[in-house]
Every structure is written in structure tokens, then in C-alpha cells.
Amino acid sequence: MKKHVKIYLEYFTDNTFIPCEVCGKNSVDIHHVKYKSRGGKDELSNLIALCRDCHTKAHNEVFKEPFLKSIVDARN
């Protein structure tokens, strides 16, 4: 298991179903809000659960970093 996935799942240990934090569908991917290649860290504050469709939109920059960050910030 990748480090960032483990960090995210450790925080949400009581959940067997983790919804996509954008659309609510079943989540399959843990995504870095700020890409590691751009200085993002493996920290809960930089991780978001996304379904496959939303993950693709994030990588295609349909969902930009500030939008995803606002969702993460609202969760805390």
C-alpha cells in the first residue's frame, strides 16, 4: 500500500466505505491535492478521496488545486 493511501486510511479507520469527497460516489483513489512533483506532502491535509471519474478530472485539471483544497479545508 502506498504511503499516502495508508495515511489517509489510518485517519478514517472507522469507515469501511469512504465516499468521493467531491461527488459522493464510492471512492477508489486517494489523490494528492498538491502533486508531490510540485512540492505536495504525504499528509492528511494534502490528501483527498476521489472516485475514478473525479480523479481523472483532477489530473486533467478540470478540478483545480484551490477547489480540491477548499474541500479538504472544509473537512477539518
pLDDT along the chain (76 residues), means of 10: 79 74 89 94 94 95 96 89
Query: Residues 6 or more apart from 24 whose CB is under 8 A from it?
Result: none
pLDDT for 72 = 95
- In residues, how long is the chain? 76
Alpha-helical segments (H) within 3-75? 3-11, 52-59, 65-75
Distance spanning both ends of the chain, measured CA to CA: 24
pLDDT of residue 23: 96
Residue 5: what pLDDT? Answer: 80
Cell representation of residue 70: 477548499
- pLDDT recorded at residue 49: 93
* Cβ neighbours, 10 Å, residue 24: 10
**pLDDT at res. 76:** 67
